[in-house]
Amino acid sequence: MKIQNLIKVAIAAIRRNKTRSFLTMLGIIIGVASVIAMLAIGEGSNASIQEQISSMGTNLINVMPASRNRGGVQQGRSMSQTLVVSDIEYLRNNSDLVKAISPEVQSSGQVIFGSSNWPTQMYGGNEEYTYIKKYEVASGRIFNSQEIKSSAKVCLLGQTVVDNLFGDDVDPIGQSIRFDKIPFKVIGILEEKGDNTFGQDQDDIILAPYTTVMKRITRQIYLRSIVISAYSEDQISQTSTQIEAGMRLAHKLKDTEENDFEIRTQDELISTFGSISEMMLVLLGSIAAISLIVGGIGIMNIMYVSVTERTREIGLRLAIGGKGKDILLQFLLEAVLLSVIGGIVGVVLGIITSNTVENIMGWPVLITSDAILISFLFCSFIGVFFGWYPARKASALDPIEALRHE
């Protein structure tokens, strides 16, 4: 039989049983739609995590005190105090790959303005801090080197702190707030940044010169961390190596001694999150794949019933000159057409579902052409794989028996 005739025959057979054909396709439709939607959600959250991490600064390098083993007792990171202000000077003078560098100190406490108060965090840094951590100043200004040198009691407020302390009619700039009983003058307000990847509100922050925070609030000479900006993302690892060497020299570590600090880059964060979201993608993908396989079994099931139901038709086709091969190909083609048509409908439904999820749940989704292509190939494969058995059964029928079938 000519291939065009074969296609004609298969399409006619599908159209002759519209309801059943639709029901057969339903499994595949749902399977493909869920593959598309699941992958879209997975890819979407993946992309949004990547984006959020970059918004934290992909050039960012963190130097933290290492948790140290003192006399056999493992000490937490907060207990270990190894970073000091002179390290910053050392790195600035000895590492040409460092673009910007700032100490970071931090303290939790209650901030008070008039009768309002709010629990928040105060961060201390130098004038490069906002650049490194990708904060923008919305209004007012950042503290200058003079204010750092003199441990001036000035600060910038994050939007959340502003919202919780001030009414709409008050301009925070120039006002005096109290943090940990110390009065600070507000000199600027930070641009809103939103939540970070961990769900922390990045706007719930007060920023002050590190000198002020260390002298008046934490009353310590040790730093929480050193934050550094490399010149570009590509130079992160080179810069890290240089910083490590610099830190070892600054801390006068012998060759036998371990680092008393730890260098963290966003790369690690990205790869950690990358592997988590990859896992999620695989999980979602396999759930979806299972539903596709179930859809395929549905096709096999109904094709199988259909062969039994259409035994007389098969008998007739054999009697008027159809060869076993013609019958096999017809039923196989029917299965493939059903699964491919189901696949097309499924893709459309999957895209609609993804967009609905995006609109209603506010989840980010990303539909990739790969997902669509893979679903298609998988569908055709399922059609052949699950159509084969019933098709072979049909082609092996004896014409006389088939014609006599009731």
Q: Which residues bind another protein (CB under 8 A)?
A: 1-2, 5, 8-9, 12, 16, 312-313, 315-326, 399-400, 403
Run of H or E residues at 265: strand 261-265
What are the percentages of helix, strand and coil residues in the chain, rounded to 5? 55, 20, 25
Least distance between another protein and beta carbon 375 (Å): 31
In the complex with another protein, the residue whose CB is nearer, 5 or 232, is 5
If 0-12 CB within 10 Å is exposed, 13-18 middle and 19+ buried, where does residue 74 land?
Answer: exposed
Residue 315 or 346: which CB sits closer to another protein?
Answer: 315
Grouping H, G, I as helix, E, B as strand and the rest as coil, residue 176 is strand
Q: 245 to each of 94, 222, 233, 259, 321, how far by Cα in Å?
A: 10, 20, 20, 10, 85
**Least distance between another protein and beta carbon 380 (Å):** 24
* Smallest distance, another protein to C-beta of residue 388, A: 20
Which residue's CB is nearer to another protein, number 99 or number 405? 405
Q: Which is nearer to another protein, 183 or 324 (CB)?
A: 324
CB of 54 to another protein, least distance (A): 60
Q: Which is nearer to another protein, 224 or 317 (by Cβ)?
A: 317
Which one, 322 or 343, has the nearer CB to another protein? Answer: 322
Whether the CB-CB separation of 287 and 376 falls below 8 Å is answered with no
Q: Cβ 303 to another protein, closest distance in Å? A: 18
CA distances from 83 to 131, 132, 223, 229, 341 (A): 21, 18, 5, 17, 64
The minimum distance between CB 315 and another protein, in angstroms, equals 8
Q: What are phi and psi of 166, to 5 degrees?
A: -110, 145
> 236: alpha, beta or left, given left = phi > 0 and alpha = psi -120 to 50?
alpha
- Token pair, residue 303, equals 């094709």
